[in-house]
Amino acid sequence: MRRLLLIAIPYVWLAALFLVPFAIVLKISLSDAAIAMPPYMPQFDWTEGIGAFLGELDFENFTFLIEDSLYWKSYLSSLQIATTSMLLTLLVGYPIAYGMARAPEEWRPTLMMLVILPFWTSFLIRVYAWKGILANEGFLNQFLMWTGIVSDPLQILNTTTAVYIGIVYTYLPFMILPIYAALDRMDDSLIEAAEDLGCSRMSAFWLVTVPLSKSGIIAGCFLVFIPAMGEFVIPSLLGGSDTLMIGKVLWEEFFSNRDWPVASAVAVILLMILVVPIVLFQRNQQKEQEADQ
Amino acid sequence: MAIPVFEPWNDPQAKPLIQFRNVTKRFGDFTAIDDLTIDIYEREFFALLGPSGCGKTTMMRMLAGFENPTEGKIFLAGQDIAPVPPNKRAVNMMFQSYALFPHLSVWENIAFGLKREGMPRNEINTRVEEMLRLTRLEKFARRKPHQISGGQRQRVALARSLAKAPKLLLLDEPLGALDRKLREETQFELMDIQEKTGTTFVIVTHDQEEAMTVASRVAVMDNGRVMQVATPADIYEAPNSVYVADFIGDVNLIEGPVTAIGDGTYALNWREGAAPLTAKSQNTFSDGQTAHLAIRPEKVTISAEKPEGVANAVQGKVLDIAYLGNLSTYHVELPTGDIIKAQTANTRRISRRAFTWEDTVWLSWTATGGVLLVD
């Protein structure tokens, strides 16, 4: 009985906070927009019964999403931006994690602190701060012009480049921490053993260090890719009008167009796209746990 | 037909494989190795023995190339190895933690070094199979290191380090993680493999029994210095210092001034009023010089009656008996308050033991039973 209760708690949690909201969103996505409060039809009515209610639901919104190229272009563009920024984050994050794992023992807590420290400030404020840095008259351009590298300010803000910078900056800790954890667990004598058996420093890195941090790399990539895919704040604050991201489209459908059914359909498809990497991520975590035992 | 004795260290013609020449290694202001000169010959099984922190691991790491000497030179086959990086040395190491690559199978672990050499595929196959046979691991070739037992992992580590047929194999506490029974078996296996492959082995250990069992010669180290380099028998029977005598095995140390009584024999006046002890010695002492008589417990005979015609006999009372199964060690307290340990083999069952607590007994030993050591 106690065991059942313990197992039940996470399921109740999941049902209340994920399944029920998802069911509501799914239902809205199958409804029609209406000028009402809430702005969609049909509403469930006890007098008409469940059959009549279900009869009014249809896939019209999903057909619309497929027909209008804006949506699938946004999905593709989001996929591309999420993938590129994931790779960029890996490129920046791996050396940092490697440096941290190789640093003297007494330095590591401090370095760890430095990685986590940005979380102490609001995410929104940090993204706004980037506006100040990247703007035409911002710090970066002022610095570049002062050193004489450029004569005219670079247009970075309101471009996709700014979105990449924002995503890499924001999600860097999610990449660093799992890789650091994997590298930290690694026995230093493995590198010495590889060198002893004829590896150069470089080939020891590729043949031993990288494969052994693979689980950390995979975890970090998913932790960056999954939220970056649906990112809304960064593209709307730093990106320009030509930066297409599905999160932004979703927001506009909900709040500018007040078309809740279409917005819900966008969200449902986004979720379906993300289920694949989420399942893969779970499998990776599980495999790693098994390897630890 | 006499089997030629393997003693290259006594042959002035023999060229040592490894030469340490006045090697000093400092880490900051800590001196790990202090002006060390040592020769190790080809096909030797050489043990570095000492307490932890004595510098034995540093010595091994210098041979492998992970550390470079602060002063002095190390020669491998006549060539100074200081500028050669670890991956270019004909030296392989078996790590204390085994350092097996967890993401590779047993087979791939053994093949790792061969692949780096760029050996052709079919030659790698033959060599790995050979190593698997040598270490009796054929059945486990496809397993990952975490799927095999500690003893098997130890053998994989050995196979991997032997695969490249190094001139010199370094073993860093190779048997430390194994339980006693397996360790003893593996010691003989190691000796067997060393003989079969003809590789020079240098083993680092803090376990004196292990060093004595496997090694052709043992270097006893303390605080970055080599105290004595000799065969296991010489280390045990003829230690050159009180430190070595005390470090290896059990020993009774009796201190006092000596007087020569001719023919290399000395009288040790160990206690006021007690009859002096006589001991033969290779070392010469001046009259009145303080010396230590080191005598192993098993060289001391214990008897109920005063034995006739022995060089040394003292009377005392049994204070303690340590029963070890095959042996018993008697702690005998002399009237002077000194305690001398005597060891006898338990050739009879315990119920028929001749002596028990509080018995008055005689201890005796010959003049050549112990060694006289300078202070």
Q: pLDDT for A20-49, tens place per residue?
A: 999 999 988 988 888 777 888 777 777 777
What is the value of pTM for the model shown?
Answer: 0.81
- Average pLDDT over chain B reads 89
Is the pLDDT at B325 greater than 90? The verdict is no
Do residue B97 and residue A208 have CB atoms under 8 angstroms apart? no
Q: Which of A187, A199, A212 sits opposite B116 (nearest CB)?
A: A199
For A121-158, the pLDDT digits (tens) are 999 999 999 999 999 888 999 999 989 888 888 898 99
Mean pLDDT of A178-200: 92
pLDDT classification of A4: cutoffs 50, 70, 90: confident
Question: Could you tell me if A199 lies within 8 Å of chain B, comparing CB atoms?
Answer: yes
pLDDT classification of A292: cutoffs 50, 70, 90: low
Task: Say how far apart CA A137 and CA B28 lie, in whole Å.
Answer: 51
For residue A137, the distance in angstroms to the closest alpha carbon of chain B comes to 51
Do residue A197 and residue B85 have CB atoms under 8 angstroms apart? no
Q: Which pLDDT belongs to residue A107?
A: 94
Question: Could you tell me if A193 lies within 8 Å of chain B, comparing CB atoms?
Answer: yes
User: For residue B146, what is the nearest residue in chain A, using CA coordinates?
Assistant: A291
Q: Which of B93, B102, B103 sits opposite A196 (nearest CB)?
A: B93
Do residue B101 and residue A194 have CB atoms under 8 angstroms apart? yes
User: Which residues of chain B from 110 to 169 reach within 8 Å of chain A, CB to CB?
Assistant: 112-113, 116-117, 146, 160-161, 164
Tokens 């040790």 sit at which residue? B268
Do residue B97 and residue A187 have CB atoms under 8 angstroms apart? yes
Mean pLDDT of B358-373: 89
Suggest the residue from B93, B128, B164 to mutate for an interface test with chain A (most A CBs closer than 10 A): B93
A-chain residues within 8 Å CB-CB of B96? Answer: 189
B346-368: burial string, b at 16+ Cβ within 10 Å, e else: eeeeeeeeebeeeeebbbbbebe
A-chain residues within 8 Å CB-CB of B64? Answer: 192, 196
For B12-22, the pLDDT digits (tens) are 888 899 999 99
Q: Which pLDDT belongs to residue A150?
A: 85
Q: What is the 3-state secondary structure (H, E, C) of A178-194?
A: HHHHHHHHCCCHHHHHH
User: Token digits for B345?
Assistant: 């083999």
Q: Which pLDDT belongs to residue B3?
A: 67
Say which residues have a Cβ less than 8 Å from residue B250's Cβ, sequence separation at least 6. Answer: B296, B297, B329, B341, B343
Q: Are B299 and B370 in contact (CB under 8 A)?
A: yes
For residue A40, the distance in angstroms to the closest alpha carbon of chain B comes to 55
- Average pLDDT over chain A reads 89
Task: Say how far apart CA B208 and CA B187 lie, in whole Å.
Answer: 12
Lowest model confidence (mean pLDDT) among A167-171, A254-258, B108-112, B116-120: A254-258
For B208-258, the pLDDT digits (tens) are 888 999 999 999 999 889 999 999 999 999 999 999 999 988 899 998 898
Do residue A198 and residue B164 have CB atoms under 8 angstroms apart? yes
Is the pLDDT at A234 greater than 60? The verdict is yes
User: Token digits for B251?
Assistant: 């020993």
Q: Which pLDDT belongs to residue B62?
A: 93
Do residue B116 and residue A203 have CB atoms under 8 angstroms apart? yes
Q: Which pLDDT belongs to residue A59?
A: 86
Do residue B95 and residue A193 have CB atoms under 8 angstroms apart? yes
User: Token digits for A258?
Assistant: 């007040």
Q: Which of B87, B97, B100 sits opposite A198 (nearest CB)?
A: B87
Q: Which pLDDT belongs to residue B318?
A: 92
Mean pLDDT of B158-177: 90
Question: Could you tell me if A203 lies within 8 Å of chain B, comparing CB atoms?
Answer: yes
B-chain residues within 8 Å CB-CB of A208? Answer: 101
A-chain residues within 8 Å CB-CB of B95? Answer: 189, 192-193
Mean pLDDT of A193-212: 93
Cβ pairs bridging A and B (under 8 Å):
60
pLDDT classification of B288: cutoffs 50, 70, 90: confident
In percent, the amount of chain B with pLDDT more than 90 equals 51
Is the pLDDT at B204 greater than 80? The verdict is yes
B-chain residues within 8 Å CB-CB of A214? Answer: 103
For residue B66, the distance in angstroms to the closest alpha carbon of chain A comes to 8
Q: Which pLDDT belongs to residue A52?
A: 75
Is the pLDDT at A109 greater than 80? The verdict is yes
User: For residue A195, what is the nearest residue in chain B, using CA coordinates?
Assistant: B87
Q: Are A271 and A277 in contact (CB under 8 A)?
A: no
B-chain residues within 8 Å CB-CB of A200? Answer: 87
Q: How many helices (H) and strands (E) does chain A have?
A: 16, 2
Element (H, E) at B230: strand B225-230
Task: Say how far apart CA A262 and CA A246 lie, in whole Å.
Answer: 13
Is the pLDDT at B177 greater than 80? The verdict is no
CA dihedral sign, ordered A199, A202, A207, A212: positive
Do residue A190 and residue B85 have CB atoms under 8 angstroms apart? no
Q: Report chain A's C-alpha Rg in angstroms.
A: 24
Question: Could you tell me if B180 lies within 8 Å of chain A, comparing CB atoms?
Answer: no
Task: Say how far apart CA A204 and CA B87 lie, in whole Å.
Answer: 10
User: Which residues of chain B from 47 to 66 reach within 8 Å of chain A, CB to CB?
Assistant: 64-66
